[in-house]
Structure 1
Amino acid sequence: MPEKISALNADGISEPFAAEAAPLEVFSHGERFGSSFRHLSSFGGGDHVGVALEELVPGKEKNPSHYHMLEEEHAYILEGALTLKLGARNYVMKTGDYVCFPAGQKVGHAFFNHTDAPCRYLIIGERNPNDVIVYPESGRVSVRLTGEGYGKAATMDYWEGIDASAPDAKARPGLAQE
């Protein structure tokens, strides 16, 4: 039986599905970054809200620290623990913890798995065709207007200015800093 490409039935109606039915995508860059994820909302036929089931393995960071000027993001930890880097502060998040990154909150955020076990979480966000995304570590700015990419992002590679070597444990402690 071939794999389904979406949860839509022959009449175009979105039906319930097991999260594992959504295709697994795996991402990695250098020693520092890597994760796996399933785009649940896309598989389910949604296009206004993005929902992904993500897994971050030990010692990896999801993506460079960033913030959105026009999009809001939310994360809910389902299983395991990780460190949330939020600006200059670090917070340990564990099963049942939740965080919101409001649009326009000019503080970069990134997830790092400081533990020896995978961490599974939901990431939820808008699918706003317009956004400005700032990456404080590299100085990169990505501008998306009605789905088009403009500005510095058009001339600067996504990874330019980012050290993708293994994370320095001292720079990413697992304990919350007060």
Structure 2
Amino acid sequence: MTDKPSAVNADGISEPFAVESVPWQEWSEGSRYGSRFRYLSAFGGASHVGVAMEELAPGMESSLNHYHMLEEEQALIVAGEMTLKLGDKTYLVKTGDYVCFPAGQKAGHSFYNHSSEPCRFLIIGEKNPHDVIVYPETGRVSVRLTGEGYDKSATMDYWQGADTERKG
């Protein structure tokens, strides 16, 4: 661990740093979802590309199954193995495997650690501030720009609710 809050020096220059110097952060939601991660890109001063070293404990899922309309994500498995759920299929991914989730690929993705050991992976994304994220299993649609979520089943016709008749 380091007492330095980032790799950016007093002159505003991002200097090299050891991954181990970035503090772990943890999150969880119930007993099903959660992980710990080192947010490498933020520590290095980056703002356009997000890179995190994530560790998924046995029996845990990384996120709700989702896909991005505008943001691309990629993952490199660096230690262990886990199950990738991609659309209607599942894949065993292990150390050295790489997977891309192109923007607009309408196949939800998420990881589940089915093994008895932690699995570590790099997750890389664009941090697109205008992204729209779709969660196929829950029907949620998240609009990053507004910070709001919507129920996908509550769709509207373009003219629905509009007064289309001229008055007077």
SS at structure 2 position matched to 1:127:
coil
Counterparts of 1:79 and 1:139, CA distance in 2: 32
Which amino acid letter does the alignment assign opposite residue 135 of structure 1? Y
1:43 Cα deviation from its structure 2 partner: 0.2
Partner of 1:166: none
SS at structure 2 position matched to 1:20:
helix
Counterparts of 1:127 and 1:9, CA distance in 2: 23
| Normalised TM-score (structure 1) | 0.81
1:23 Cα deviation from its structure 2 partner: 2.2
Counterparts of 2:14 and 2:128, CA distance in 1: 22
Partner of 1:21: 21
Counterparts of 1:63 and 1:5, CA distance in 2: 27
Counterparts of 1:149 and 1:33, CA distance in 2: 21
Counterparts of 2:18 and 2:34, CA distance in 1: 24
Partner of 2:84: 84
SS at structure 2 position matched to 1:152:
strand
1:19-55 superposed Cα distances (whole Å, 9 cap, x missing partner) = 1212211111111111000110000001111000000
Partner of 2:53: 53
1:78-115 superposed Cα distances (whole Å, 9 cap, x missing partner) = 00000000011000000000000000000100000000
Percent identity of equivalent pairs: 66
Q: Evaluate the alpha carbon distance shift between residue 150 and residue 33 of structure 1 in structure 2; reply closer, same or farther with a 3 A threshold.
A: closer
2:112 is equivalent to residue 112 of structure 1: yes
Root-mean-square deviation over aligned CA pairs: 1.2
Gaps of 5+ in 1: 154-178
2:140–2:149 CA contact under 8 A, matched in 1: no
Gaps of 5+ in 2: 152-168
Asked which structure has the greater RCO (Cα within 8 Å, sep 6+), the reply is: 1
Larger of the two Rg values belongs to structure: 2
Tell me the matched-pair count: 150
SS at structure 1 position matched to 2:34:
strand
1:151 Cα deviation from its structure 2 partner: 5.0
Counterparts of 1:103 and 1:19, CA distance in 2: 28
Counterparts of 1:105 and 1:51, CA distance in 2: 20
- Where do 4+ consecutive residues of structure 1 move more than 3 Å? none
Which amino acid letter does the alignment assign opposite residue 149 of structure 1? G
Match of 1:152 among 145, 150, 153: 150
